[in-house]
Amino acid sequence: MRDKLDMAITYGSRRAAMKLAREALKKARRQRLGGEICYFQGQVELIRENFVSAIEYFDAAIRYDNRDGGSYNDRALCLAELGLIDEALKCFDQGIRVERDYATIYHNKGWLLNNIGRYKEALVCFKKALQLEPERAVTYDNLADVLFNQGNFHAALKAYRKVLALLPARRCPGIRSEIKKRIKQIEEKI
């Protein structure tokens, strides 16, 4: 359910993500999975943009399983949304220490680093995420943004084209349209 929810958040609508989060929460409650109950309740709060409340649930999930990279990742995203950048980066690093093969946490740390202008570090994170999940379209999209921000337009263009190759045409028409616009803008620059 976590992977499905991640896809809904990344490519779907907020409404679809909320539906999946509530469904997963209900299933976790039926199975009496304490850590998963906390995690999916945190997801519900995150989708509602109740970041402080979400952090409390992710903290509880981490108390159930301190090796849950997903809870560290989503806690870090909430911290970033609250403007607590240094704390968010520390939380990403904690998650990476406990779950080194979790591509999403590298991706999201890279996203934050890119947003604060730390492009070289962001690039390292995106490359690691792609090493773990080579067909991850959203990471190629963010990689392209970093490369563009660095002025490496040829590499950015290549990464954006990779996004188009990986994104399902019917599932993501809006995102595909935006990527095509970016490609056209870059082609006009070079």
Does residue 171 surpass a pLDDT of 80? no
Q: Is residue 52 part of a domain?
A: yes
Does residue 106 surpass a pLDDT of 90? yes
Domain that holds residue 52: 1-100
Do 47 and 74 lie in a common domain? yes
Rounded to the nearest integer, the mean pLDDT of the chain is: 95
Length of the chain in residues, anyone?
Answer: 190
Q: Which of 68, 100, 132 is the last residue of a domain?
A: 100
- Taking the C-alpha atoms of residue 173 and residue 128, their distance in angstroms, rounded to an integer, is 27
Distances (CA, A) of 75 to 81, 93, 147: 10, 12, 27
- In tens, the pLDDT along 38-68 reads 999 999 999 999 999 999 999 999 999 999 9
Do 1 and 33 lie in a common domain? yes
- pLDDT confidence of residue 4: 87
- In tens, the pLDDT along 141-152 reads 999 999 999 999
- Taking the C-alpha atoms of residue 130 and residue 19, their distance in angstroms, rounded to an integer, is 29
Does residue 173 surpass a pLDDT of 90? no
- Taking the C-alpha atoms of residue 188 and residue 131, their distance in angstroms, rounded to an integer, is 31
Do 75 and 169 lie in a common domain? no
In degrees, to the nearest 5, what angle opens at C-alpha 14 toward C-alphas 129 and 167? 45
pLDDT band at 187 (very low <50, low <70, confident <90, very high): very high
- pLDDT confidence of residue 135: 95
- pLDDT confidence of residue 174: 85
Q: Give the chain's domain count.
A: 2
Do 88 and 13 lie in a common domain? yes
